[in-house]
Amino acid sequence: MTDLFPISDSSLAELRGRLATEAASAGLLDLTVRTVDSPVGPLLLASTGSGLVRVAFEREGFDAVLQSLADRVSPRILEAPSGLDDAARELDEYFDGCRTSFDLPVDHALSAGFRARVQAFLPHIAYGRTLTYKEVAERVGNPNAVRAVGTACATNPLPIVVPCHRVLRSDGALGGYLGGLDAKRTLLDLESR
């Protein structure tokens, strides 16, 4: 029956955009999300009032990522197609090869403890360079915590921006990556150009 009372996608898209703007100015929005295209597939970006809080790969399942943000941060989440402009632009510049570090306000709300410590260290690995999990463990002052460093990389809520892709296994193998090994290889290739 409702097929007979059609609503166009463009009407709804316009209303949704307006809702995100009004909700933000009414202080009702805790999280803004947006998807962008990239050489490693679509990325979901999420930000709180304090900054970028999550970058997710499509293979993580965007709905699952939204649910986990709702559980861990707030269910007051809306998509804003024109939001997160700075993050989208810096990622574009990075993928174009003309940006070697990110200069964005970041919200580390999803990281705690040793993982947060490792993730805070990762941006110190320079663009185009790599370290092993073992070297990272040493650098953060806990040389025996090689596996924990692996877990910290695997649970990095801000991949690409926080460059966990620059950490490899001691034997030179890629190790793991939340975005898949192809994505990790793509990022490392990009940075070696």
Partner 1 sequence: MKQPFQIAVERHGATVLRVCRATLGAGPDADDAWSETFLAALRAWPELDEFTNVEAWLVRVAYRKAIDLARARARRAVPLDPLPEAPTTDDGDAFFWWDAVAALPERQRLAVACHYLGGLPHAETAELIGGSPAAVRRAAADGIAALRRRFDSIEGILP
CA distance linking residue 45 with residue 9, whole number of Å: 22
CA distance linking residue 74 with residue 68, whole number of Å: 9
Count of chain residues binding partner 1 (CB under 8 A): 32
CA distance linking residue 80 with residue 46, whole number of Å: 10
User: Of the listed 29, 164, 168, 178, which one is catalytic?
Assistant: 164
| Tokens 């999420």 -> residue | 46
Binding partner 1 (rule: CB under 8 A), the pick from 52, 56, 78, 148 is 78
Q: Per CB under 8 A, which of residues 84..143 are in contact with partner 1?
A: none
Dihedral of CA 99/103/109/114: which sign? positive
Q: How many residues does the chain have?
A: 193
Binding partner 1 (rule: CB under 8 A), the pick from 36, 77, 104, 116 is 77
- 98: annotated active-site residue: no
Q: Which is nearer to partner 1, 28 or 181 (CB)?
A: 28
Which residues of this chain interact with partner 1, rule CB under 8 A? Answer: 1-2, 4-8, 10-12, 15-16, 18-19, 22-23, 26, 28-29, 33, 63, 66-67, 69-71, 74-79
